[in-house]
Chains A and B, each alone.
With several copies, the nearest count.
Chain A
Amino acid sequence: MRLHEFQAKQIFSQYGIKIARGKLARNIEDVKKIAEELGGKVVLKSQVLVGGRGKAGGIKLANSVEEAVEIAKNMFGMTIKGHRVDKIYVEEQLNIIKEMYVGLTLDRANKGFALIVSSVGGMDIEEIAIKHPEKIASVTINPIFGLWDYQIREVLYLSKIPREYHKELTKIIKSLYKILVDYEAELTEINPLAIDENGEIIAVDARLNIDENALYRHPELKDLKDYTEVDEIERLAEEKGLNYVKLDGDIGVIANGAGMSMATMDLIYLEGGKPANFLDVGGGASSEAVKNAINIIAMDKNVKVIFMNIFGGITRCDEVAKGLIEAFDESKISIPLVLRLAGTNEDEGKELIEEFVKRSDAKIIVVETMEEGAKKAVELSK
């Protein structure tokens, strides 16, 4: 779960990391008031849970209250990579003389965390990492021992950041690590971490991603989850406990298992079609889950055909058939559905479907293999 900049900054600040003065605005009035408080020279930062907002015009400087209001009028309601802006963080302008990068993240390969520091920061850090890897210093943290001070000295030394800043940076890195541990985060990142004209080190942006699986141990964090900017269908899917991601194609996909779902999408692509979504009903899916899945996909107006690809291991094909029939029965679904049903209780499932197709006008096409199903679905989408 990714937090907004303003939420992450609040937490970072509680751990002693310096941030610029600023407040969250939910409307033009707020922007006016906050800009006045901050003396007019402000930065307006759209609060959207997506990267690259700077390049997409989601961050703007204003040199007066009036200018701030004008910018905010355009910024509220704009869409950045599909995310609608309904919150703006208004912050004082800083005179920055240097931008750096510091981040801590899960390191899968080394079964720990990576501490990454760079003497350069800002929007182009990823490119720099590829083109100038020598500008990126990192160490691996073994989580059972935690972060050693010598490791901080090591990355700071390798980063070639002037020694005068090491003491303050050491404090910031220790705070970030403490946040990582206390909040069971997957990522704590400051990019850019800026040095201002007074030599103060200030977090200009703040990123904090929490492990959703650990949220039960941090009930206070659940309230920080922001659904307002998320697609309506995605929100509904999450409510129903389904793993759904909207895409821009026209073939609805339902499969059981994440790997199976991806493989199904890949097959559609190989046949020349475009998947409208990723949807994993999960292992051992109930008829209820299958019904919900079909209803959610049917909400997407772009969907011309649904390909449902089930290989029953724990999942029972008769359960799947029941859910499918209920969805078609109750919701009068008119979209054609290509069905591939194999594995546990395959015959019972197929029998149920056969009966249903006879007694209804549902367009359900049963296929034998997933390869065949993908081909059929693409055909029907053209």
Chain B
Amino acid sequence: MAIIIDEKTTAIVQGITGSQGRFHTQRMLAYGTRIVAGVTPGKGGSEVFGVPVFDRVKEAVDETGADASIIFVPAPFAGDAIAEAVDAGIKTIICITEGIPVHDELKIYRKVKERDAILIGPNCPGVMSVGKSHLGIMPPHIFMEGDVGIVSRSGTLTYQIAHNLTKLGVGQSTVVGIGGDRIIGTSFTEILKMFEEDEQTEIVVLIGEIGGTDEEDAAKFIEGMEKPVVAYIAGITAPPGKRMGHAGAIIEGGKGSAESKIKALREVGVEVGKTPMEVAEIVKRMKSRG
């Protein structure tokens, strides 16, 4: 088992004819991901690495029965691409695109919920169900199949920690990058729920960072979880950044800092690693105890 995607998932690539789409399609195919179609308006009828390209998602779905989509469409058109996918009946959408306007992201969030679909991202490295399917831009060779689930707001940091785990001989079940934007389709809590129910996953690694209250909210859920969670939070020394006026401070109510997140997680019994290597070591230790 795995979460979000597995070996049965059949996917389309929206924006397949762009340089990013083309590059990662090849890599995902090489990993064994079942990419059954691509979509680029105006490029219907062509092929990319043997994958047929359609003008419209609906056509691609009608022809191939795809149930997932990965999006490499440029930011100005990405929101529309997500809407097209959900309206064509696709239930799992992974949006890699970075730089989507936040007002678009807000609208898309509601659109996806309206159709009871799942959106991972935007601005995320995708999903890797190790050994089964890869819809994303992760470097596959660093992963090893196993029972540790990873959920993260950061790309490279995820690879680092997965790499550390692999080096220690600890494999991963599914690795999910939920994305670094302020408005994202799926929260830590939603992914934790999936891991909690996933038979393959025994331990979960949560990789958070400063900003927002998603980690604090996740801590509330973790309190009731059966499976142990190990966390890493980046940004203890980060500059406060462009603060959102008084209003931002008022609605976050003192949350959002690395300290606040680490505190919230520790209070519900989560071990928080101080370095990416320490995270892997904590997991390794848990497994040897377990």
Contacts and interface: CB of A to CB of B under 8 A. Distances in A.
Contact of A275 (B87, B159, B237): B237
Interface stretch (A14-22, A32-40, A209-217, A219-227): A209-217
A263 B234 contact: yes
A369 B161 CA distance: 11
B85 to A, nearest CB: 9
Interface stretch (A66-74, A135-143, A298-306, A323-331): A135-143
Interface string B227-262: 000001011111101111111111101100010000
Contact of B142 (A181, A262, A343): A343
A24 interface: no
Contact of A314 (B137, B142, B163, B275): B137
Contact of A313 (B81, B107, B137, B152): B137
Contacts of A91: none
B157 to A, nearest CB: 4
Interface in B119-157: 125, 137-139, 142, 152-157
Interface in A249-303: 255-260, 262-263, 265-270, 275, 278, 283
Contact of A148 (B55, B84, B158): B84
Given A125-B246, A191-B246, A108 B236 contact: no
Q: Interface residue tally of chain A, by bracket?
A: 35 or more
B58 A154 contact: yes
A207 B139 contact: no
B42 interface: yes
Given A157-B56, A283-B155, A111 B109 contact: yes
Contact of B248 (A101, A105, A269): A105
With a 10 A CB-CB cut-off, give which of A126, A245, A311, A371 has the most chain B CB atoms.
A311
A216 B182 CA distance: 19
B168 interface: no
Given A145-B83, A311-B156, A104 B103 contact: no
Contacts of B217: 109
Contacts of B110: 111, 142-145
Contacts of A58: none
A349 interface: no
B210 interface: yes
A150 B81 contact: yes
Interface string B166-196: 0000000000000010110000000000000
Given A154-B56, A259-B153, A107 B251 contact: yes
Interface string A83-126: 00000000000000000010111111101101010000000011
A133 to B, nearest CB: 8
A283 B123 CA distance: 11
A259 B274 contact: no
A213 to B, nearest CB: 5
Contacts of B99: 213
B264 interface: no
Q: At the interface, is chain A mostly helix, strand, loop or mixed? A: mixed
A318 interface: no
A371 B198 CA distance: 32
A138 B250 contact: yes
A126 B245 CA distance: 10
A1 to B, nearest CB: 9
Contact of A187 (B84, B163, B244): B244
A230 interface: no
Contacts of B277: 369-371
B163 A207 contact: no
A114 B210 CA distance: 20
A193 to B, nearest CB: 12
Contact of B253 (A125, A129, A189): A129
B41 A153 contact: yes
A130 interface: yes
A311 B247 contact: no
A214 B99 CA distance: 9
A168 to B, nearest CB: 15
Interface string B36-74: 000001100000000000011110000000000000000
A259 B157 contact: yes
Contact of B56 (A104, A150, A256): A150
With a 10 A CB-CB cut-off, give which of B58, B77, B159, B207 has the most chain A CB atoms.
B159
B213 interface: yes
A186 interface: yes
A260 B111 CA distance: 32
A21 to B, nearest CB: 25
A82 B55 CA distance: 49
Contact of B42 (A114, A145, A163, A216): A163
9 contacts: A104-B247, A105-B251, A114-B251, A129-B249, A143-B107, A150-B41, A150-B80, A184-B103, A266-B235
Q: Which 5 A-B pairs have the closest CB atoms?
A: A259-B154, A257-B156, A214-B101, A105-B247, A150-B84
Given A103-B250, A150-B84, 20 more contacts: A103-B245, A105-B251, A106-B244, A109-B214, A109-B217, A114-B251, A133-B253, A145-B107, A145-B111, A149-B77, A153-B41, A259-B234, A262-B235, A266-B237, A268-B237, A275-B237, A312-B139, A313-B156, A369-B277, A370-B275
